[in-house]
Amino acid sequence: MKKRGMVWFIAPVFRLVIGIIFLYAGIMKIADPSGFAQALYNYRLLPGWAINPLAITLPWVECVAGASLLFGIWTLGGGVVASTLFAVFVAALGVNLIRGLDISCGCFSTATAASPITWLTVARDLLFLGMAVSVVFFDQGVMALDRLLHKKV
Amino acid sequence: MAKDLYPQTSSLRIRRGIWQGIWLCCLGVVLAAGFNGIRVSGSIPWAGQWPIASAEDIAEISLREAWSRFQEGTTLFVDARDPLSFKQGHIKGAWNVPPGEAGRSFDEIRILAQAGLVVIVYCDGAACPLGPALARTLQQRGVPSVRVIADGWRQWRQAGYPVEGGER
């Protein structure tokens, strides 16, 4: 499976973009865990006991996945985590849009008045999902620290 | 051109990605636990006090279903907001059971529910905890078929369904 040409060039660009997005989103949420917990509660998809643990851990998982993609360390792992998270985000947004809830996304800002969810939010996350999936399938480790680590071994 | 660094078959890439992903998640959880433990301000407890979320024991009802049942006349809407908000406007025919109010209205609601009405509790705003809290109380008092409509007042009003502004 030799994937070359445009994909060879674009996959690392996608990797960097998704890496920066995840790092930024994670840091914004780490700054305000109680605001993020409120945003999670507003989605009304989780049992009460799961909200705080997720509000504490999810931003760090985003940061770790973001750093993994940005620096190209365990790139495939970062891509799988990012793809999974985006798939979950799309599902959660979709369910609440169908329900008609007027809630804030909680994607990049934890303020309850910021960025209400719309179908455009879903479309944006689907685009990000596609980019993350393409990293898993097509990234060849260009500009990735994996390459340095690989050489050492 | 760079040499291939990762497996070239999709299944091997996914398999390696899943293993690495699991380790990355573990690393994230460890960092989160550590940072939440040492941060000076803004840390939150692992066990929070959230009223309920829909995945638990109270069933939600969609706006569409609530409306069709309303038209059939088989609903009893219960407004969980404070009396002042209720007086300013509420779903037509709704009863007001504000937080802290107990006793007689629960019995009346139970009798109506046992007679076949679907009790639909609502509040204003998706973050409002009063609706789910009241629904749970009603359920504990033996009211059958309690449902919650999330962000009910705003949704109902926005859809243009019947409201009234006087007191009940």
Q: Where are the domains of chain B?
A: 10-43, 55-164
Look at residue A4 in the predicted model and tell me its pLDDT. 57
Q: Does B46 touch chain A (CB under 8 A)?
A: yes
Q: Does B62 touch chain A (CB under 8 A)?
A: yes
Domain residue spans in chain A? 7-144
Neighbouring CB atoms inside 10 A of B100's CB total 6
Weakest mean pLDDT among A11-15, A43-47, A78-82: A43-47
Q: Does B35 touch chain A (CB under 8 A)?
A: yes
CA–CA dist A41, A47 (Å, integer): 9
Weakest mean pLDDT among B12-16, B74-78, B104-108: B104-108
| First vs last C-alpha separation in chain B | 77
Q: Does B144 touch chain A (CB under 8 A)?
A: no
Mean pLDDT over each residue of chain A, to the nearest integer: 87
CA–CA dist A133, A147 (Å, integer): 20
The DSSP annotation for B78-138 comes to EE-S-HHHHHH-EETTPEE--TT--SHHHHHHHHHHHTTPEEEEE-SSTT--HHHHHHHHH
A101 interaction partners in chain B (CB closer than 8 Å): 126, 150-151
Residue B1: band (very low, low, confident or very high) from pLDDT cuts 50, 70, 90: very low
The residue assigned the tokens 């959660």 is: A92
A65 interaction partners in chain B (CB closer than 8 Å): 21, 24, 28
8 Å CB contact of B2 and A141: yes
Q: Kindly identify which residue of chain B lies nearest to residue A41, measuring between CA atoms.
A: B53
| First vs last C-alpha separation in chain A | 24
Nearest-Cα distance to chain A for B33, in Å, is: 7
8 Å CB contact of B62 and A100: yes
Look at residue B168 in the predicted model and tell me its pLDDT. 41
8 Å CB contact of B126 and A48: no
CA-based max dimension of chain B: 79
Of A44, A52, A79, the CB nearest to B150: A44
CATH of B55-164, one of 1.20.210.10, 3.40.50.300, 3.90.1170.50, 3.40.250.10: 3.40.250.10
B25 interaction partners in chain A (CB closer than 8 Å): 61, 64, 81
DSSP H/E element including B149: strand B146-149
Q: Does B26 touch chain A (CB under 8 A)?
A: no
Higher model confidence: residue B4 or residue B86?
B86
Per-residue pLDDT tens for B41-79?
878 888 877 765 544 567 888 888 899 999 999 999 999
8 Å CB contact of A1 and B19: no
Look at residue B51 in the predicted model and tell me its pLDDT. 64
pTM for the full predicted model: 0.72
Residue type at position B71: Q
Q: What ipTM was assigned to the predicted interfaces of this complex? A: 0.89
